Structure 1
């Protein structure tokens, strides 16, 4: 620097060592000092720059701007920034930014100008690149100053809003958004400037056509080369489709049949549908903005929070069992299916939960579990039953087989032989009773037990049952006391089955009452019913067994010691129920006896005394007679058809003892062949035979002519003792039906009666009638 300028030495030192191009000019703009960076920028030697005005390297327009800037710096002492494009030695125009400031002497007097040139080529390239990015961005992007004036916008902005560039550039954003959103935008800009942060805001600009367009603004800082915030870069996202999708999703939630709710990341409920209100009994406003934890227990709240955390962190779907409490206080079992709720950028913003009411499911599960337990119990009962049946059948069979073989071997004297026959008869009767009980229960359970309903005097029923068991009671020295009210009736029922009920109760009482015990039977009229009470002072019933006493195969330890299948009380319960009555049991516990009460509805309509008397006659005639009496069948020719050799031999022996002439065969074919060659007064046929059964045989017999045996009286023998089995046999052409096991006395009496009725029919010229 020349001494005559008076420029401070400090200025010369600053210029020489500055990294940027720096020069000093006088008050007329002539360059007095320039550093090497100026020479390098312009491609000139230092002596080619000094003593030259900067205007020499500028266009006329920019030279005028430079002179004006220098004049303003000198006159006002301000700093000016001017964009200049000096031409280098090679002829290239170099974009620069000039920062010009006053140069003062020690007294503060302006003696020149110091200028700093900044090479803008790289910055302009960067700006051009940034502008290209903005221009070609698919999303609407704009640049505004710190007051919200739009400086630049890409085509996507104009397409979104429908404005031409001239209608939007240099306009404030407040012209197209409502006042409240303008304030929100200004606050966002302030935060961007002060914190350098990025802000999101929801804006609804009005388009050129007047449409309000929902958008999301992402605003970030625009900085200059020095890092100063000079404006805002805003990215608008058109939310119309997303809002439509959100409304559609909300509609799906609202109309979903299952209860659906949406929560934020903290578990606060943001939205629910009507199904949630229906399930919990709360109004929507009582649920929304509440935490899920409010409706569940603290333990389940912990499980829900853990599930929510896993959903947020891993984006998984979780199933959680929850039991929310309803508005009425009920705890409702539900299954929650919770999955992540994401925003349009894929970020997890909450959870969507679907509740499934598990009450019906739980009831089904409980029912299935109960069924499983019942099946298991039934299976165990079946196993116990089979074991009991095996025992109860084998025990009498042991006695029968043992004594029979001793008789067969001639090992017994006369007295022992008589004793053997008594044992065989008693145990055979016991076996028949066991089988009858099994068949009765099977018919009852399958709904195939048919009742022969008629007016019944319960007095006769009770008396007949007492007489049937009196011998057994006397053998144990048990006092059997009865108090009978003759007015306790009549009832409508099957007399045989009602007697079976009373007989079973009395037999049960005798079984569990020790010697010298007492059994009391009472028949009385009570509350319009005939009430039969059987009370004993025997073993009693434990409280654990009492609720199950009428179930099949249920026996206590005492019952197992006394034998039996455990079916008697089950049969009593079922038969009484079929008569429209009820039966109940009571006991003070083990060792305190038991009481059974049967109540049967009394028939309201009057009926003739002769009907009751007829019933009494039938009862008296059906009393059990242990003495074997065979009817006289002298000269009667009987054809026996039985496929089992032992049964066939027994039938033949009984009939021969009664005086009959017996022809026994083992099949239907043999029977037909016999009828072609021999006369028979009576045909006795088993039903269940192989090849051709008894029904097929009687059909073929009835197809024969009278001289070939087509009208021979016939009696059916079958192991099926149901009323419908008897009806089937009579309809097929048999005159009588007998159920196995066969009592010899009953067999001979039936044959004699059949012959008598058949002879009467022939003499009177009327067709044979079935004997009922």
Structure 2
């Protein structure tokens, strides 16, 4: 029995990753292994004889968790739980616990054995993974990722004890790219105004943009870095700035700061970088969507312009064709005097030239898509242009027994315009 007890004590003491301790029936600590000392901070001399509630949080003490767990262990044979516990220095850790009753050879309960394992890192990793999943889902579901920046910051700050963030985007100003403050939280309006526009290489964000790399500073580095003057002025003691890069293109930077922490862990730094990578992808996707929407609207506009132009042009092509066909038929079936024949041929020639010019416009596809037609503006006499238009429609009007009488003043002077276009519109 002594050898068995010795081996058991050796095993318990060797289990340094586990806090193993025993309690009497009243919940007083009776034994305390080295793992318990390492995890909870109390030496065996300090812990033995104290109530087990010294490792419970104030809220659990108030609810009588220690007594309740012992009662459950007695009635159910064991109790398992995961909860926050308190160390000697007042810090908290997340522990997975198991409590079982200790019984003698006759089956009488003599006390309890309690086993705790620190699961803080695992819990934090799960929380960060869940946080990253939530943020990624939010960013994928929105077409305006910048509108989610405050929400993303709130979620990150709860996990990492952050107090401020600021987001720069690359924009053109003064014939060159600069960094423009787009979103921020936790910084004063005065500081935001001073930092609204910065150059590449200026301050920490400018260095991040210039070098395209993440920069993380602890309290000592912030105190000495020449680019950290604004960070120091805001009282930031831990800072992380990341570039926003998508498809090899720099979109901006995203920085986070804490007023209470002195540094970030490697896992937290990775989380911030992955978050910024997701933001950059969302920004690139939003920019692409906006670009595609603009291109689609431009195509729709081009189609509308083309349809409108072709509708107008089809009428313009028919207008000179009517007098050409009409006079051609008349010349074939009737005999006119020399003056009338010359007038008919002149009308045919003029409208043929007019139609040739319209066909030239029709073939100019680039002008059609841009909604532009070339105008040949020259000094014209309105009376002469009106008379030429009347000659074009007079034949069609006569066929319908429609008489046209005009009174024109040829001395009104000249105006600047395209005689051909004006004549066509007058025949509509």
Class of the TM-score when normalised by the shorter of the 2 chains: 0.3 to 0.5
Say which one has the larger Rg: 1
TM-score for the superposition, normalised by structure 2: 0.44
TM-score for the superposition, normalised by structure 1: 0.27
